[in-house]
Structure 1
Amino acid sequence: MSQVYTELCDVDPMQDDITVVARCISIWHSHAKGRPNDPWSLDAVFMDPVGNRIQATIRRESMAKFGGLLEEGSCYRIRNFGVGENGGKYPLLPHKYKINFFKNTALTRMNRPFAYWVASRMMSNREQRWSLKGMTALVTGGTRGIGYAIVEELAGFGASIHTCSRNEKEINERLEEWKGKGYDVTASVCDLSSKEQRKELIDTVSSVFDGKLNILINNAGTTLLKDATEHTAEDYAYIMGTNFESPYHLTQLTHPLLKSSGNASIVFISSVAGVMALPSISVYAASKGAINQLTKNLACEWAKDNIRTNTVAPWAVKTTIQNSQENIDLKIVEAYGALMARTPLRPIAEADEISPLVAFLCLPAASYITGQIIVIDAGYTAGGFKS
C-alpha cells in the first residue's frame, strides 16, 4: 500500500482533472491484486502504511465538503463514475456521463472531488506549490518597467515565457540578457494597437508553446494626464484602445490556449486610479475601471475552464511611462506631489515591488484566488495620511 501512496503523490496535480483521475485510478488498479472486485474505493486508495489515519480523514472531511457527491458506506465509492461493465452498482448519473474504464470508453465528463482530493494531498508539497516549472506564460510589454520585472520574476520561478514589444532593439538586448541568466524567454516584435498584429502574436505563442498557455499577463498600457474637459476624441480612442480594447482582445484570443492547459491564470495590471478618484486622469481611470470589472466577470465566466483571473492595481511606480508625457500642467504635478506626500510608506514603488504579487497569483499556491483586484499602494488607499 505504501507503493500506491508513493505513486499517487507523484501524479502532477496541475494536469486537467480527467488526466489526474485516470492516472490515479490506473495506479490503484495496477496494485489491486488483493481486491480486484473493488479497485475504486477511496478508503483503499488512500490507506497509508501507518494505519487508517488518511481513511478516517477522508471519511470525515469528504462528507462535510462534498455531501452527496460521495456515497457513504463501507467503501466511499466515487459517484461520478459508472463502475463496472454495466455502469456499476450505483448508476447515479445519466448514462452519457458514465465512464467505463473496462471498455476504454471515452472520457466525456466528470465532476471533480476525487481529482481534488488527490491534488490537495500532493499540493501539501511546498516545492510544488511555489514553482512554475513546466508552465508557460505570455507577458505583454515585457522589456521594460513592470513588465520586465514580471518576466524576471516568472522566469525565476521556472516558467517558460514569451514577451513582446514594439522596439526590436530592446527585445534583442533583453533576450541576450535573459539568456545569460539561464531564463527560457522568447519574444516577438508587436504593436498591440494593431488587431492583426495581436492575432499574429497569439499564433506565435501557440506555436512556441504547442497550443497551451498557463499564464497571461496583460501588462502593456499607457497614461495621459489631462483635465476631463481637455481630452479629445483621439485621446479617448488611444487610451481606451491601448488599456482596454487591446488586453480584452488578447484575452479572448488566448482563451483556447489557456483552456487547453487545464489550469491557467490571467493577471491584468490596472491602477489605483481604477479604484478611487485621482486628479486629471479621467479617461485613464475609466480604462482601468473597465479592466477591474472585466476581471470579476471573467473570473466567474471562465471558472468552468479552470482559468483564474485577477488584477494588480499599483499606485505610483518608477517606470519610463511616468516620463513619457511632455508639457504636463504644473498644477497637475503639484496635485500629485501633495497626494504622494500622504502615502504612509513612501510615495513611489520600484517595479520589482509589484512583480512578486503578480507571480504569486500565477502559482499553484494561489489556486483558490480569483476575481480579485489587489491594490499595491504603500497604504495610500487605507486612509491617505502620513503621520
Structure 2
Amino acid sequence: MEYDVVIVGAGPSGLSAAIRIKQLAAENEQDVSVCLIEKGSEVGAHILSGAVIEPRALNELIPDWKDKGAPLNTPATDDRFLLLTRETSYKLPTPPQMHNHGNYIISLGNLCRWLATQAEELGVEIYPGFAAAEVLYNDQGAVVGVATGDMGVDREGQPTDQYAPGMELRARYTLFAEGCRGSLTKILFERFKLREGVDPQTYGIGIKELWEVDPTQHVPGKIVHTVGWPLDPSTYGGSFLYHMENHQVAVGFVIGLGYANPHLSPFEEFQRFKTHPDIRPTFEGGRRIAYGARAISAGGIQSVPKLIFPGGALIGDTAGFLNMPKIKGTHTAMKSGMVAAEATFEAIKAGRGADEVTAYPESLKRSWLWEELHEVRNIKP
C-alpha cells in the first residue's frame, strides 16, 4: 500500500500532524494521501496521561473545537501545591509554570478519539490494531515506510490458523509519533546517529489511577500537586490529583528513574502516598476504575535529538518535548506534529520525497514551542 505520508502512532502529535496535512491539502486543492497506524486496539487505548491540557496548540489546529464538541469539559479552577511530611502538609506558593488558569482537566484518551474523528472526516485513513514492526528503506538508505507485524502467531512465533502476514506501508515521508522510547525510534537513533551532540535523555515513570469518588470529596476543576513524603529529599518525584467530570479524580505519582535506592518501588511509594492524612479522605468510599503506567522523557530541550533523516521525522514525545516544570507535554507534542506537517506538505507540494525535510526543525526553532522549552532549560535537567 502506498501513500504520500505514513504516520506511526495515534497520539496527540500523530493525529495533529495528520489533520494539519489534510487541512493544507484542502486549502491548496491538492490530493495528499495520509495513513495513520496505531498499535492499540482503538485510538486512545494506549494513551495514559494526567491530564491537564493547555489548549494553545488545539486553538491553532481547530479554532472552533468547542463548536465541534471537543471533550474539554472541566476548566481548571483551583491550583494547590503542597509539601507533604509524614503527618501533615504545608501549602506552598504555586510555581508560575504550574498555574493552570485557562487550562482544562481532560481524558487524553477521549481527546485522541475525538481528534481521530476529525482526521477521518478530512480523509485520513486510520488503522488501529496494527503495530509498526519494521522500518523500510530504499537502496539509498532513506526511510520509505514501515511494515506491520505478522498477526495470528503463537508464543513461539509460528503461524496459527489465524495467521495474517504483515503489510508494507510505503510513503514519500514517514512521521514517527511512537511516544517515549518508541521501538522503531530507537532503531532510527542508531541508524542515523540522531542522538549525537545532544545530552542523554533522562526518564521518569508515571503511575496513574482513575477513581470514582464520593461526591462530597469531589471539586470539579481542582488541581493538587505535591512534593515530599513518601520520597526522601534525594529522590526526584511528586504527585498530582485532578478532579475531572462525573465525580472522577485522576491521581498519579511520578518518580525520576535516577533514584539511588535499588530497593525503592515506585508502585509501593504511590500506594503509601494515598494513605497520607491529607490525601486519604479523597478516596475513602470511592472505587478505582482504571490504572496504568508509562515512561516519561524528562531531559528537556538539551536532550532533543536530531529530528529529521532521509524520508522521515520524529514528532511528539518520541523526540522528548515535555515541558517538565509545567508537567505538560500534550500541547507541545501537538505543535511539533503541526510544524512537521506543514514542512512535509510543502515538500510533497514541491514533488519531493525520501529526503530530509529541513524546514521542520528550522520552523520548530522559530515557534513558541522552542521558546517555551528554552525558557525552562535549567530547571530540571
Rg larger for: 1
User: For the superposition of Structure 1 and Structure 2, which TM-score range results when normalised by the shorter chain?
Assistant: under 0.3
The structure where helix makes up a greater share of residues is 1
User: Which structure is higher in RCO with an 8 Å CA cutoff and minimum separation 6?
Assistant: 2
TM-score scaled to structure 1, two decimals?
0.22
TM-score scaled to structure 2, two decimals?
0.22
